[in-house]
Chains A and B, each alone.
Chain A
Amino acid sequence: EVQLVEAGGGVVQPGGSLRLSCAASGFTFDNYVMHWVRQAPGKGLEWVSLISGDGGNTYYADSVKGRFTISRDNSRNSKNSLFLQMHSLTTEDTALYFCARADGSGWYLDYWGQGTLVTVSS
């Protein structure tokens, strides 16, 4: 069974940093592109970033480029993990952050975690 479990959310002050993680299981992790998608309270979905299976290619939404870094650890010892390092956070970054897997073709997100909440507030 495919499982994605996010962690690392919390309350952080404006200008602060936070590192999110996503533990993946039930599939061959390094065969799949992984994404982060966020949802501000009461708002719609916003795509944040994606990383290729081998970690060699990354893409970011304009709203987070230069502040967020996506990475992954495909080693068996890491328990197959996806990360999102976030810097220079603003109140606009307050959201539920979902980790999601792209299907084999890469065209859509076939499995999602339940999300981890990031609140940026003074």
Chain B
Amino acid sequence: ELKVEQNPLFLSMQEGKNYTIYCNYSTTSDRLYWYRQDPGKSLESLFVLLSNGAVKQEGRLMASLDTKARLSTLHITAAVHDLSATYFCAVQGGNQFYFGTGTSLTVIP
């Protein structure tokens, strides 16, 4: 079974600071997805990364994929409170999606 690990599991950061969330996976895949989940809510798709070197940006979030290293990063620039949520990466294996452990982000004013 494909294994996906994220770190950190918990992240508390001040507004205005930058930070990176890491997502490692165990077997070859060139399809990686990032999702956001607000407390008590469903998961919302943020980014789809489909090839080595892919980079996507939306607002203060930027995601990248290195398939050779089996690593994706989600970089947060100048965090704001509205970014507080849990972020998941997911890797596609066959027609199944395997999720990371999630990173619970809290942005402190």
Q: Bound pair: A and B? A: no
B binding-site residues for A, Cβ under 8 Å: none
Residues of chain A whose beta carbon lies under 8 Å from any beta carbon of chain B: none
